[in-house]
Amino acid sequence: MRRAARIVSVALITAGLVILADVAATLIWKEPLSAVYAQVRQSQAAGELDAVSDEFLADPDVAGLASADATVAQRARRLADLFERRLAGGEPIGRIRIPAIDADYVVIQGTEEADLELGPGHYPDTAIPGQGRTVAIAGHRTTYGAPFNRIDRVDVGDPIALEMPYGRFTYEVTSTRIVDPADTGIVRDIGRERLVLTSCHPLYSAAQRYAVFADLKRIDLAPPRA
């Protein structure tokens, strides 16, 4: 009996160590297996995004809109509307950069699980940069590269850039909030352009959502390509 009890104790201790090791690995390496997968897919998506950008900027219609006699905001909206027609689920649409947490990822169209395995995903029912409405992006915190792993360290005043084939849009964080997963109101339109980032909260739980809100501060349109 003592030997059996000792074997069970060793097994339980071993299982506990394995679980702790897995948690530690996830904290340090952002869940190793899915992180490697995400890194490979992000590299592929970056190449695809370059091709999408080249093709879009070479379009004669884009060249006409980019050089039109209008304000930067007006040209940005026209370019965004034109680009929106080309969007397809699971495809790269731009790049997000968050210097405060060293985040630099290709953004994928869609927020289905398969989309988020590739990188941060754009909520398809929200606007894209330049359209003057709410732009919303979701991302994992612990798996598949964990692009938003440290989203809770983003502070008010921090810049966030979204680089689209037609231009770079710089936002400034105005607030953060912890909300219920069912609270879809956080991505509603409010009459001006803003960026909303969302991710599960706390770590290893989907009980809540951590949301970052940022207002558009600058637009730098990309020059058309011949």
To the query of whether residue 140 is one of the catalytic residues in this protein, the response is: yes
Question: How many C-beta atoms lie closer than 10 Å to residue 100's C-beta?
Answer: 15
To the query of whether residue 200 is one of the catalytic residues in this protein, the response is: yes
Q: Per the residue annotation, which of 79, 80, 200, 211 is the catalytic one?
A: 200
**CA dihedral over 88, 94, 98, 101, signed as positive or negative:** positive
Question: In 38-126, at which residue ranges do the beta strands (DSSP E only) sit?
Answer: 92-98, 103-109, 121-122
Helix axes 2-29, 32-57, angle to 10 degrees: 20
Q: Is 11 left (phi over 0), alpha (psi -120 to 50) or beta?
A: alpha
CB 139 within 8 A of CB 120: yes
Cβ neighbors of 34 (< 8 A, separation 6 or more) are 117, 143, 144, 145
Q: Per the residue annotation, which of 95, 140, 141, 209 is the catalytic one?
A: 140
> CA 86, CA 84: separation in Å to the nearest integer?
5
Enumerate the active-site residues: 140, 200
